[in-house]
Amino acid sequence: MSEQAERMCVLLPCGPDRQWAVPQKCLGEIVTLPAHEDQVPEQVSWRGVEIPVMDFGADGELPWRDAGNSSGLIAVILGLQGGGSDYWGVALRGPGLAVRRIDSADCRDLPAAVDEYALAAFELDGKVYQVPNLPALQGMASRPDTAANAQMAR
């Protein structure tokens, strides 16, 4: 996983076959939005700043909106200065949102499972997680033609 034996990570369900593990320090906040339809907004206002939102699960069966309370979740990712948008969001779909201390001894590296825009992949508790290339995705989020409906090869 890294030089560190363990690290606090946020596990983000971005779609049916796309589970991300990001360092906790890269996450700004999980925002709950009222959602009267299943379409993810192209941008959201977060702390007075309009940020682009990417949706990697739009073509899947998992709804963005929770039918029980008519809300949806957006994970706000903290970007690098000078890399486009300083902040950007990703729509969360399905179960699995968690904060967890991940020990490299509990993971099995899966180099063959690395998707486009991911740096690594690993298996933890029977699930495959991607370590997203956050700087590349930040650049992608900054381009309005690709941000809202980010569909990446699997």
Each residue's pLDDT tens digit, 13-38: 998 889 999 999 999 999 999 987 78
pLDDT confidence of 83, banded at 50, 70, 90?
Answer: low
| Rounded CA separation 59/66 (Å) | 17
* Predicted pLDDT at 5: 57
pLDDT higher than threshold 70 for residue 147: no
Q: How far apart are CA 151 and CA 148, in angstroms?
A: 9
Please tell me the predicted confidence (pLDDT) of residue 148: 47
Summary mean pLDDT of the chain: 86
Cα–Cα distances in Å, from 107 out to 7, 34, 93, 103?
Answer: 12, 36, 23, 7
Q: What pTM did the predictor assign?
A: 0.86
